Amino acid sequence: MEKTRPQWGNPLQFVFACISYAVGLGNVWRFPYLCQMFGGGSFLVPYIIMLIVEGMPLLYLELAVGQRMRQGSIGAWRTISPYLSGVGVASVVVSFFLSMYYNVINAWGFWYLFHSFQDPLPWSVCPLNGNRTGYDEECERASSTQYFWYRKTLNISPSIQENGGVQWEPALCLTLAWLMVYLCILRGTESTGKVVYFTASLPYCVLLIYLIRGLTLHGATNGLVYMFTPKMEQLANPKAWINAATQIFFSLGLGFGSLIAFASYNEPSNNCQKHAIIVSIINSSTSIFASIVTFSIYGFKATFNYENCLNKVILLLTNSFDLEDGFLTASNLEEVKDYLASTYPSKYSEVFPHIRNCSLESELNTAVQGTGLAFIVYTEAIKNMEVSQLWSVLYFFMLLMLGMGSMLGNTAAILTPLTDSKVISSYLPKEAISGLVCLVNCAIGMLFTMEAGNYWFDIFNDYAATLSLLLIVLVETIAVCYVYGLKRFESDLQVMTGHALNWYWKAMWAFVSPVLIVGLFIFYLSDYILTGTLQYQAWDATQGQLVTKDYPPYALAVIGLLVASSTMCIPLVALGTFIRNRLKTGGTASVA
């Protein structure tokens, strides 16, 4: 007897769910950084090649497995081979870690969104110091956007050892974020299916509005030209290819079990090949689209800062030499400087050390990724736009949509195996299971609202998923091709969907993708080993900038635990199943 499995209301909900899950914050804050670091327009070459060679085949594989097995990750892999249900367990563990820390980003998004309803924006001005004669010290040394992020939002401590207490403001926002997630996943696919219409499409609306606004900003073309000018020599850099492969891999969200969970709610006859291609192309196009927006914003910010710097130099020279106000402009600056150097050499040499060399290039070169890009660089650009409250609200609303969409996928990856399991679902209704998962995650997530929370966030962000996912997807590919059998899977798909499996997919699954993943795995492992001790960036309030520090031993232990707890699931569960089978069969036959 097969209980009726919940299904998507229509295939469009499934596609939107996958898009909403795959298109996340990484498209906005990681891809532009990679593009900038690895040769601008020429980065698109390795990116598209990796998309075709690695992204589409692996995405299709996961969707096909989910649609065929019609169960969450644990059940699906158990069906393929009982020894491999550890892969499913590892996926659930990694998804659990991810949902723990990912929702903190949504909490920060809420915080900034709520603060966008003020005039002026709180991150555009520094607060005053004690006697109101100047601005707060830390804010002067850093910038007002950095101050708002590090001091007002995070209230960050100088190092990971100093924990501080739980900050009530981020804690409130985190609670709200989890409530919102619970609201969306409460009814399973019925509610999720409706929510993903919004979380998938609204970010595009906002991105489009931002594109139009961004392209009309003063100086936007500087950023765009800088980004898209291809630097062909980067094609020879192996790091460019590795980063392209990594970006495609993680951007699609492979290995978490979310895609398997989503596909398991499909009708068996669904054409998941078409959907896999559509989702991966949309994901990559969104990355490129978002980077156009990001680079026009970069260009605007860099031009603004460059012009500010020039104005400061002009003011300095005007004041030192008592030139007429308005005489010095950006165009005659150089010649006037030469004139002054020759006419008043002694005075000029006094002033000279204070004259900063303003360069548009160096402003554009500041490549930032991650939370720094989203919450510091973008807010800096927004505060200089007209009607900045509107742009701020739009922007953080978009970030929230992107983050929520990915969270829906993460929680689906955890909940689907739980609700599939007959043991758990017989005791508790679906709402209670979802509620429990959200509650546990929220409670643990309070760790990230402490003063040192951002350092722990970085640990989770960098180490919780990277190595484990590579291993999981590798085992998945090998399991489907060699344990289950590629021919058997092929015939299953043919029966299920009615289409024959193209030779291209077979070649990719059997040879190319596993080799690529092994290559990535080796690279990361050797990178971790070679760097020796791991380091992190800590915020130094006295200097107003980030400094590098070493992780203390217990933090390294946590990192090891994170990686081990998910990767060890695979061999441990296999071993457990093996022992259990031996006990069952060998109990009657042999004496131990």
Using CB under 8 A, pick the residue from 141, 194, 231, 430 that binds another protein.
430
Return d(Cα 547, Cα 195) in angstroms, integer.
Answer: 41
Binding of another protein at residue 110 (CB under 8 A)? yes
**Interface mask toward another protein for 214-253; x: CB under 8 A:** ----------------------------------------
Q: Which of residues 280-299 bind another protein (CB under 8 A)?
A: none
Structure tokens at 15: 């596609």
Q: Least separation, in Å, of the C-beta of 68 and another protein? A: 16
**Whether the Cβ atoms of residue 309 and residue 289 lie closer than 8 Å to each other:** no
Q: Which of residues 498-537 bind another protein (CB under 8 A)?
A: none
**Whether the Cβ atoms of residue 101 and residue 457 lie closer than 8 Å to each other:** yes
* 406 has binding-site annotation: yes
Using CB under 8 A, pick the residue from 53, 166, 180, 546 that binds another protein.
180
Structure tokens at 44: 């698109």
Binding of another protein at residue 436 (CB under 8 A)? no
Binding of another protein at residue 319 (CB under 8 A)? yes
* 402 has binding-site annotation: yes
Q: Least separation, in Å, of the C-beta of 57 and another protein? A: 29
* 22 has binding-site annotation: yes
C-alpha count within 13 angstroms, C-beta hemisphere, residue 590? 6
Using CB under 8 A, pick the residue from 12, 117, 482, 579 that binds another protein.
117
Question: What Cα–Cα distance (Å) separates residue 193 from each residue in 25, 204, 345, 384?
Answer: 21, 18, 73, 38
Binding of another protein at residue 324 (CB under 8 A)? yes
Binding of another protein at residue 411 (CB under 8 A)? no
Binding of another protein at residue 173 (CB under 8 A)? yes
Region near another protein per CB under 8 A, out of 89-97, 169-177, 508-516, 546-554: 169-177
Return d(Cα 243, Cα 50) in angstroms, integer.
Answer: 10
Using CB under 8 A, pick the residue from 12, 41, 128, 552 that binds another protein.
128
Binding of another protein at residue 165 (CB under 8 A)? no
DSSP character string of 472-493? HHHHHHHIIIIIIIHHHHHHHH
> Is 272 strand, coil or helix?
helix
Q: Least separation, in Å, of the C-beta of 559 and another protein? A: 34
Binding of another protein at residue 5 (CB under 8 A)? yes
Question: What Cα–Cα distance (Å) separates residue 360 from each residue in 215, 245, 564?
Answer: 18, 31, 46
**Interface mask toward another protein for 356-385; x: CB under 8 A:** ------------------------------
Nearer to another protein, 267 or 458 (CB): 267
* 266 has binding-site annotation: no
Structure tokens at 231: 């630097």
Among candidate residues 242, 287, 271, 256, the one with its CA nearest the CA of residue 60: 271
**Under 8 Å CB-to-CB from 63, ≥6 apart: which residues?**
18, 259, 260, 262, 263, 272, 275, 276
Nearer to another protein, 179 or 572 (CB): 179
Among candidate residues 12, 10, 6, 18, the one with its CA nearest the CA of residue 408: 18
Question: What Cα–Cα distance (Å) separates residue 507 from each residue in 193, 458, 516?
Answer: 34, 37, 13
Binding of another protein at residue 332 (CB under 8 A)? no
Q: Least separation, in Å, of the C-beta of 93 and another protein? A: 25
Neighbours of 251 (CB within 10 A): 23
Residues written for the chain: 592
* 3-class SS string, 326-394: CCCCCCCHHHHHHHHHHHCHHHHHHHHHHCCCCCHHHHHHCCCCCHHHHHHHHHHHHHCCCCHHHHHHH
Nearer to another protein, 346 or 533 (CB): 346
* 155 has binding-site annotation: no
Binding of another protein at residue 426 (CB under 8 A)? yes
Binding of another protein at residue 267 (CB under 8 A)? yes
* 486 has binding-site annotation: no
Binding of another protein at residue 318 (CB under 8 A)? yes
**Under 8 Å CB-to-CB from 340, ≥6 apart: which residues?**
317, 321, 348
Binding of another protein at residue 172 (CB under 8 A)? yes
Summarize the annotated binding site for Na(+) as residue ranges: 22-23, 27, 251, 283, 402, 406
Q: Give the footprint of another protein on this chain (CB under 8 A).
A: 1-7, 9, 110-111, 113-115, 117-118, 120, 125, 127-128, 132-135, 172-173, 176, 179-180, 182-183, 186-191, 267, 318-319, 322-326, 419, 425-426, 429-431
Summarize the annotated binding site as residue ranges: 22-23, 27, 251, 283, 402, 406
